[in-house]
Amino acid sequence: MEDVLDLYAAPPDPLRPVVCLDECPVQLRDDVRVPLPPAPKRPRRRDYEYRRCGTACLAVAVDPHRGWRHVIASERRTKLDFAGWLKDLVETHYPLAETIRLVVDNLNTHTPAALYEAFVPAEAHRIARKLEWHYTPKHGSWLNMVEIELSVLAAQCLDRRIPDLATLERVTAAYAARRNREHATIHWRFTTADARTKLDHLYPIPQPA
């Protein structure tokens, strides 16, 4: 826990950016009946019944210092998908970075081994050398700042019926573009000192010598 909190408290370093990454499932749903269009003094009306259209996954990366986020919509979240997202971070979004300080939770796909399952060893090693891993503690994924971005995404973008992956890609890309134009940042206030006071029950009690 303190490793992640100390990372957040460190000053921004463009050559060593902090990037928080996580995924969330999305239920795809469509209307059974065509919604009624709006009319004077009457909003657009939609029937409560809907049709399930499967599921999808959203991967969200957020750089809290830069006020930047990137959303990827996919059909699943396997180790191969995760490895592809990491390669995209390294090659497309941070090609000049010396090291990307990556914050993730303890999901079994979130390991450097995913790179070696997706790429030949030399390629996997090249990408892995650009990543510095920081894990939130077990049952402590709330310490990953991307969880805040996921909450904003859910409220501003996913509060509607999205029928297919193409629509999901379109609406989430528009969301990310708008938030990036605004340079929307996350103001993290929970510190290591706060953890030692407010979460003191999580710390072991030192044994007398």
pLDDT of 73 > 90? The answer is yes
Architecture of domain 2-191: 2-Layer Sandwich (3.30)
pLDDT at residue 42 in the model: 75
- pLDDT confidence of 25, banded at 50, 70, 90? very high
User: What are the residue ranges spanned by the domains of the chain?
Assistant: 2-191
**Amino acid letter for position 132:** E
Which long-range CB contacts under 8 A does 85-89 form with residues at least 24 apart? 85/21, 85/59, 85/61, 86/114, 86/115, 86/127, 86/131, 87/115, 87/118, 87/119, 87/127, 89/19, 89/21, 89/61
pLDDT at 47 over 70: no
Residue closest to 136 by CA, chosen among 9, 4, 19, 18: 4
**Which stretches of 10-145 are DSSP H helices?**
79-88, 113-118, 121-128
Mean predicted confidence (pLDDT) in 37-56: 78
Contacts of 133 (CB under 8 A, 6+ apart): 102, 104, 112
Predicted local distance difference test score (pLDDT) of residue 36: 64
Q: What is the reported pLDDT for 9?
A: 93
Q: Which two tokens stand for residue 86?
A: 């990491």
CA distance 106 to 85: 17
pTM over 0.75, yes/no: yes
